[in-house]
Amino acid sequence: MIIEETQDIAACRAIRHAVFVIEQNVPEDEEWDDLDEQAVHLLARTAEGTALGTARLIRRGETGKITRVAVLKEARGTGLGAGLIRAAIRQFATTPGITRLQLGAQNHAIPFYEKLGFTAYGPEYMDGGILHHDMERAL
């Protein structure tokens, strides 16, 4: 699997549409925002070029935000999601001034992110009709 920064926003959006809008019933107006243009996008592809996963990275001061992490159903359970998070961590680790990482985790995914060094904090909240918790880790 190849995970790298991409300018192919259409491929990233197609994955997000399949996972969030179609599969998880997130309303389209809640999925799409104006942050795609200012973000760094990671795209996971097979050696043959099939896009299977994505993550969106946004800088907010000293915080690196990992958002819109999505893996197509056929690639789940392969380690691809963890690979995307590790790639995001590496990307932010090379960004001067970033000291902390933050993400909003769907509640069922909290143990997944805990294995990658994140800790939940703050109250539970609804995002896209799905319960979430914020999580963070030092960089």
Q: Identify the structural domains of the chain with CATH numbers, from first to last.
A: 2-138 (3.40.630.30)
**Residue 7 confidence (pLDDT):** 96
Instruction: Kindly calculate the radius of gyration of the chain based on its CA atoms and give it in whole angstroms.
Output: 14
Tens-binned pLDDT, residue by residue, of the chain (139 aa): 999 999 999 999 999 999 999 999 999 999 999 999 999 999 999 999 999 999 999 999 999 999 999 999 999 999 999 999 999 999 999 999 999 999 999 999 999 999 999 999 999 999 999 999 999 999 9
Query: 99 vs 46, 58, 102, CA distance in Å?
Result: 31, 13, 10
- List helix spans (H) across the chain: 9-16, 28-31, 80-93, 110-114
